[in-house]
Structure formats: structure tokens, C-alpha cells
């Protein structure tokens, strides 16, 4: 049984199909947390650096079917010990935050949401 399944079937122009593939490619290129615009639906995904891919082409019954599939594991569920550590961390006394480093050596926050929107 699947935890979630999203399926969208509709007629597309060649340009609309290209826009969807472009949005998917941008989301894959960026990785991390992305919001993928698919027609009237926005789908939020977390895309890891490594995933598995499958390309399948079937010809028969007067049609050509092209399937592009990507798979990756979902984030593992938090264990009781990590949940307890997180709860304990929230109970700790607040201390002022250290000033952020700036300049070429500063680290960037990769978990910020990125948006892969279709382009016209």
C-alpha cells in the first residue's frame, strides 16, 4: 500500500509537456526542498542528491509510450531517542545567537525552499 500517490493525466500540447519537463529538470537540478508547479497543482518534494532513474519506451497498439521514473527513499522516521533529544533541546535555556559569518567562507542554508516554476 502506498503512503501517497499523485497521478495527473491530461492532454498537453508539446509546449506544455516541455514546460513540465523543464520544471521537473529544474527541481532535480536544485535538489533539497522544492515546490513543483504541475498545471494547476503545486507539489512539494524533498529531492536528495542521489536517486535511481528508469527510462522506458513502449511501442504498440498504434501508440508510443515514454515513461521517465525517478525513485528515492523518503527520510527515515525519527526514533524515540532522537525525538527525546529534540524535546530536551527545546527545554534548554535560550542563549543569544552567535553573529552569522559573512563573506566567501560563510556557509549557505541549503534547506531553503526553492521554486521550480514553469517558464513561458
| More reliable by pLDDT, 77 or 32 | 32
Question: What is the rounded distance in angstroms from the CA atom of residue 37 to the CA atom of residue 12?
Answer: 15
Q: What is the pTM of this model?
A: 0.56
pLDDT of residue 4: 81
Predicted confidence (pLDDT) per residue in 28-64, tens digit: 999 999 888 877 888 899 999 999 999 999 999 999 9
Q: What is the mean pLDDT of the chain?
A: 74
- What is the Cα 34 distance to its own chain's centre? 5
Q: Which residues contact residue 22 at a Cβ distance below 8 angstroms, ignoring those fewer than 6 apart? A: 118, 119
Q: What CA–CA distance (Å, rounded) separates 66 from 69?
A: 10
Q: H or E stretch including 45?
A: strand 41-47
Amino acid at each position: 500500500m502506498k503512503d501517497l500517490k499523485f497521478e495527473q493525466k491530461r492532454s498537453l500540447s508539446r509546449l506544455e509537456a516541455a514546460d513540465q519537463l523543464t520544471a521537473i529538470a529544474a527541481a532535480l537540478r536544485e535538489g533539497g526542498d522544492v515546490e513543483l508547479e504541475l498545471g494547476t497543482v503545486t507539489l512539494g518534494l524533498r529531492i536528495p542528491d542521489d536517486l535511481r532513474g528508469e527510462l522506458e519506451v513502449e511501442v504498440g497498439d498504434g501508440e508510443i509510450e515514454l515513461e521517465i521514473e525517478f525513485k528515492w527513499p523518503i527520510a527515515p522516521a525519527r526514533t524515540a531517542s532522537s525525538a527525546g533529544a529534540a524535546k530536551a533541546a527545546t527545554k534548554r535555556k535560550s542563549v543569544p545567537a552567535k553573529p552569522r559569518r559573512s563573506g566567501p567562507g560563510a556557509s549557505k542554508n541549503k534547506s531553503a525552499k526553492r521554486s521550480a516554476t514553469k517558464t513561458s
